[in-house]
Structure 1
């Protein structure tokens, strides 16, 4: 049996991180495991911002966005000497296990702590981009998607009233899931995502055809990994004669109370993480595949093959015509 664990959140914040913290913490305390929190992710581990947690730290956070443990970037963690200092801060408190809630970079850090210093680790995928291999959904994706859909509804009112084409830039540096599923669920009129070719000439032709068919406005979703919606709008203006405006949703997408789906997903993953550590296992990430919790080696997050649904992409294109 493991005697003590710590929880940290790292990288970009995502709605649902707090429910994951709550579930992991409550399950640990129910098993008599000493519980620690680490503020500001790996930066806090390095700076020894590690504190004992109890039930009061877990109360009233299930519906809160962001992360009560705070988060930060820590590029210094790439240095083995820095990781050794951080690992020693855990060991001097007798912390044997670590629950890491974050994305790809956070998982890399956890994997190195496990392999270099024997810290037992379990990764929980928390990122709005839904770009972690090994899980159908990451914590925060559903909430973010609904935030985008709410924005599209409001933007469409203006697009319709002024007969405009509006390019809505959403997050997704390497993954186009947010743009794709916002197009499907929001009735979008086009999309540009990093997994596909995105010729502006084709988009210009599609807009021109819609004008000929009597449609006087468009909502086009652009994943940030494709490029700036502001720059794309300027190029598009040279190719089609219509009023074009860019809208960049930026960090508004990260905030807000987690959806019911994200709370349930995070709760299940948080509880599972502690059960895994208590069973003596380590070096894994938790995923949700086919509506069931699964585990993979934590390195699967970057060594596996990520595939966007071509079927969903083709459907989005068909419906956007």
Structure 2
């Protein structure tokens, strides 16, 4: 292995820079040249590529986002765009590519591998929606961002005697809502994987008010409801408790990564280079029981993600 590339694709997540740093420095340590591919697969098609050195990744381990930038590429999915990417790979003499991103990014890596390009995937997504790994890079930071927001909102909620609905990201996966709701002491957690009853939620709010509770927090995963504003109105009408909605949005994607995410990204980045040196391809990295694992991309993507029911039940018990 003489030259590898590294790219970030799809939605950004805190810790991507730490992963880039680990890939670049591990490669250089083993006398492998490394190039940065900007704007994901779009940059691969357009040849937006630059040589990376030790200084290229200095002072980035603590920064959110990605210095390589990121984009979603419809052109890469088409045969013509894909062939352009293969031509660029050949022109630049790239023998392997480390792809940092989510499931869509992994499918692109799988496609490259099938065309003879060695690929290793690192799970960079705040959603934690990849079932083969316990945690993805950026998830822990996003959860901590939400927990901090819960604490801030609880202060003002207590002052006014309100209920607050906090909508968090996660697409079809409720892990951010579940983990942040448990850590933040939310009264109710609404996730796409578990059916809910608005009457049960209202009952909890009324019971809390009757025992003198001054505030209530409801964590809502995005995508569960068509209209979260209307949901807040229904809660207020049914309970008589003033109910406010806060949509956190992309604030969850930004910010300095936690120590956990920095360490996870560094471990995975270093291992990705080792797998390249072992002539492995079409593998994705994950963490199970605090051990870094690797798995075939197709196998990893075929595993269905399920919510941690035990954790969900614990959150309900502790919020009585």
Normalising by structure 2, we get a TM-score of: 0.97
> 1:76 & 1:234 partners in 2: Cα distance?
42
Please state how far the C-alpha of 1:308 moved relative to its aligned partner: 1.6
Misfit runs of 4+, over 3 Å: none
Map 1:272-311; keep pairs closer than 5 Å: 272-311=271-310
More divergent stretch after superposition (182-191 vs 297-306): 297-306
Cα shift readout 1:241-299 (whole Å, capped 9, x = no counterpart): 11000001111111111111100000000000010011100001000000001111112
After TM superposition, list the pairs within 5 Å mapping 1:224-243 onto structure 2.
Answer: 224-227=222-225, 228-243=227-242
State the match for 1:19 in structure 2.
18
Output the aligned Cα RMSD.
1.1
8 Å contact kept, 1:269–1:286:
yes
* Matched positions, count: 319
Equivalents in 2 of 1:100, 1:26: separation in Å? 16
Alpha-carbon shift at residue 12 of structure 1 (Å): 0.7
Tell me, in whole angstroms, the C-alpha distance in 1 between the residues paired with 2:234 and 2:79.
45
Q: Distance in 2 between matches of 1:229 and 1:130?
A: 23
Written as runs of structure 1 = structure 2, the 5 A alignment for 1:30-41 is: 30-41=29-40
Q: Distance in 2 between matches of 1:242 and 1:313?
A: 25
Equivalent runs, 1:84-123 vs 2, <5 Å:
84-115=83-114, 117-123=115-121
Partner of 1:150: 148
Q: Which residue of 2 aligns with 1:320?
A: 319
Residue matched to 1:187: 185
Cα pair 1:133 1:305 within 8 Å, conserved: yes
**Is 1:83 aligned to 2:82, yes or no?**
yes
Give 1:47 deviation, angstroms. 1.3
Instruction: Tell me the alpha carbon deviations over residues 133-168 of structure 1, each in whole angstroms, 9 at most, x when there is no partner.
Output: 211010001111111111111100011010100000
Aligned counterpart for 2:172 among listed residues 171, 174, 177: 174
SS in 2 for 1:157: helix
Contact 1:229 1:248 in 2 (8 A): no
Displacement, 1:48? 1.1
Unpaired segments ≥5 residues, structure 1: none
Q: Distance in 2 between matches of 1:126 and 1:189?
A: 30
Structure 1 match to 2:7 = 8
Partner of residue 47, structure 1 = 46
Q: Residue 56 of structure 1 corresponds to which residue in structure 2?
A: 55
- Single out whichever of 121-130 and 237-246 deviates more from structure 2: 237-246
Whole-angstrom distance in 2 between the partners of 1:64 and 1:52 = 21
Cα deviation, residue 59, structure 1: 1.0
Asked if the contact 2:187/2:204 (under 8 Å) is kept, the reply is: no
SS of structure 2 residue aligned to 1:256: coil
Give me the whole-angstrom Cα distance separating, in 2, the residues matched to 1:157 and 1:229.
22
Summarize the alignment of residues 121-140 of structure 1 with structure 2, pairs less than 5 Å apart. 121-140=119-138
SS at match of 2:112: helix
Task: Give the secondary structure class of the aligned counterpart of 2:238.
Answer: coil
Unaligned runs of 5+ residues in structure 2 are none
Equivalent-residue separation in structure 1 for 2:106 and 2:172 (angstroms): 17
**Do residues 204 (structure 1) and 205 (structure 2) align?**
no
State the 1:215 CA deviation.
1.7
